[in-house]
Structure 1
Amino acid sequence: MKRTLLSFLLTFAFISAFAQIPTGYYDGTAGLSGAALKTKLKQIITNGHVDHGYGGLWIAYQTTDRDNFYENDNTILDIYSENPTGADPYNYNVGTGQCGTYNSESDCYNREHIVPQSLFNEASPMVSDIHFIRPTDGWVNNKRSNYPFGKVGTASYTSSNGSKLGTSASSGYSGTVFEPIDAFKGDVARMIFYFVTRYETQLGGFTSGDMLGGSAFPGLQTWELNQLLAWSTADPVSPVEIARNNASYTFQGNRNPFIDHPEYVNQIWGTPVADTQAPTAATNLATNTPTSNSISLSWTAATDNIGVIGYEIYVNGALYATVSGTTATVSGLNPSTTYNFYIIAKDAAGNSSVVSNTASGTTLAGGQTGGTCGTEDFEAIPDGGNGYALRTWTNAGITWNATDARTDQTINNKAITLRVGSLTSSSVSGGIQSLTVTTSLKFGSGAGVLNVEVNGVQVGTIPYSSTLQATTTTTINNINIAGNVIIKITNPASGPRVAIDDLSWTCYNNTLGTIETAKEKSYGVYPNPVKNNELFVKGENLNKISQAQIYDLSGKLIETLENPFKNSNKINLKGLVKGNYILKTDAFSTKFIVE
């Protein structure tokens, strides 16, 4: 933060001295609590409310949302880009930075409805109520879409200031949520408390958006209420909120009572309920469809009083990955080797189940090809609605990127729909012999094909029917590419929007598979576990290896090194945190541990 603490406190003192709550504004609230207090506040903040229309928000932002607290440069104070402890990644000036169109962060700012306007059909006066509509970066606003606010477990998008979109880790909800940075979580909570109080009699006619309740009290779904109560407590009212509340009162004629009297929050809704109950254990864990380097797992779901959000997969006692479903494929294994697996269920509060049953599986010999090497059912894609954008997710250790894609269309449950975009995997071991996928034309007309590439070379095409919603399942055989592969499926046409589902492929090792496996075993790393951030590699012709990549066990690419052993056999891990990792090169792949 650029301003000194003294300057900050002087600003707070100025606000407190010259912008007090109007005398008698909250008359009639003494002694009330719960629904009665909420209804009384609804009456108070409805009186005097003047609707200046949607366009009036641009005028309001001239006084309600100026940065006179952090950089103190009078720019727009955007909670999705503000850095409270240092320089902002970018700034907007009032008026000149308004959207407009945007293609990336920092293009322009627009009007962000903290409670999405789609939930109340863009009706007045909600659509222009300054108390819950903030000026924010247009691109980040678009990413937030109409998702509820909550704690993110695995992020699919992170803004420049650390605001995140991703899978919910909030207790009781497993969908996609948006999480602001800590400095503005209380602000968001109090804006939503204002909304469900000001419009409590209309909630029954609104869409819930997985956040709003259908009745005046409590006005919010239980999971969202508990999350917002926690945020309101952790992030108390700030001078920024007080100044905005006063400016909003001058502009609109009513106030946010939860900024003026934070104690009203607990007087109405109480305190959040702590979740201390652990999930039950997952059961019936079984191994199936082994290949030379992977084994698939399936199990029966655990149960929880609030809800299970994920399962930790352990391989020979070490954490391999965390998944949300009840199936997974463990890859990067050695041929002809027996592995032991177990599962631990987790809930959003961090409670862990006892371990599941242990299941054993043995990989095939190195020269063999075997059943399914990998699958993608698209159940882990982030819910992004009908907008076409970049969609990124990780499943079974593989990270997928879909460009110009939407997520609201289905084939066998979730599917990914491409406009003029492509679906690309991260690097996958085991090679590829054949590929199978199901397609369906969702929008547009005419039959066509999708192009399939492996490692940048087209290996075939996948047709789709000209009949809308009809499904076509196609297998491309004899691809026969060994080693690490990257799979890419592209829609080359500009009109048809084609959905993809149930993608799978079989492994491939060429006739030299056994020799290659023996050769791979001639490489090694030491020390393992790694010490002093230095990983040494031994093996023949190291200087001919063109690339090395480091992944964590979730499949996330940590670093790519070009010509890594040109001058030495050492890799500097640059302070990797403790954990298990995979080193992949164009000659070998191996696991290592950082302690």
Structure 2
Amino acid sequence: MKKTTLTLVLLVLSFSCFAQDTEPPTTPINFQLISSPATPLDYVSVQWEHATDNVGVATYEIYINGILEEIITYDASSSFQYMSYSHMPNGIYCLAVLARDAAGNASPLSNQVCKGVNVFYQNSPFKPYISGFLNYIGDDKAIEISNQTSRDFDLSDYSLKISYDGSGTWDVVYTFPVNTILPSSEVFVIAHPNISICTNEVDDYNSDITNFDGNDVIGLFKYDIFYDAIGELGNSGTLINTDLFIKRTHISAPIPSTSFDINTWDIQVNNGNCPSDLGYSYLVVLNVEDEELNTFQIYPNPATGNTIRFKTQNNQTIDNVSIVDINGRNVFNSTTILNNQLDIKNIKQGVYFVKIQSGNETSIHKLIRQ
């Protein structure tokens, strides 16, 4: 009995000391961008030396352009910590990090480092986004979330919110089921409990977040920060008519985005069945062809041999051809194109982008090397 009483006293004392911890960690130091000649142009990678704390650092928070992007656990296996973001869309990214202890005390932000991404191909979203929206009559309603990255995401960091009838405020919050992981190239579908179609594609049922009409707004949040939307917050007009399924299938506008334009979504009218695209993760991101002019063509494509040929209009002269892999690395460049053909025997199998320059005109084409 005495032993038990002593244990309880020690636990109380330990808890009391923890509750009184008001000392923040030190600022992480030597926060810097890291790269090598092999690092793809659209990767943003950083590392820093560990902060210290009187009790212990628990997590690090990474901010991109002033917005909290990632919370990662302190890793004691090394004297520094590392984080990388791959296939970032074109833009300028300024990063900083702070440390937080188990009591919630936060250090000041570190110094800020910036990197510009400027590639001539389009990247898929680097975090989950709203990819599909089923707005059929009655309770046949569903929302689809996609992950087009190469990593898995813990959806406990995310939530959905709905704003009814252009209210301008968020009325209901949906949290994903505990321990829900959204794997790479997969989707998560939330549907109304009374849905009569697509039940094989549903991962969770919720009547609140799917109680929508065409003038309600759905927002996707990470760490309670609004970053993707269906509809316009505060707009009471009908943006999505009943009996439609809309799906993001290609990049013709930034994804994710809090600005909604239905013209950048594919629209399918209710035919009485579950839409064939619901429950599948895909996104056409290689929208780089000059379709209006169509001045140059590459054939054969896919290329099965060691030679590709170029077809031009009006006998245009090709001044330069460069070939870039999907990681942004230049693997070939030539200013000598004889008889409008090119030897690619040294190009390995894979997907590439061919940039053709003729005078002031540039054309970019996807090439598959088999």
Shorter-chain TM-score above 0.5:
no
Structure that is richer in strand per residue = 2
Give the TM-score normalised by the residue count of structure 1. 0.24
Structure 2-normalised TM-score? 0.36
Q: Which has the larger radius of gyration?
A: 1
As a proportion of its length, which structure holds more helix?
1
Identify the structure with bigger relative contact order (alpha carbons < 8 Å, sequence gap 6+).
Answer: 2
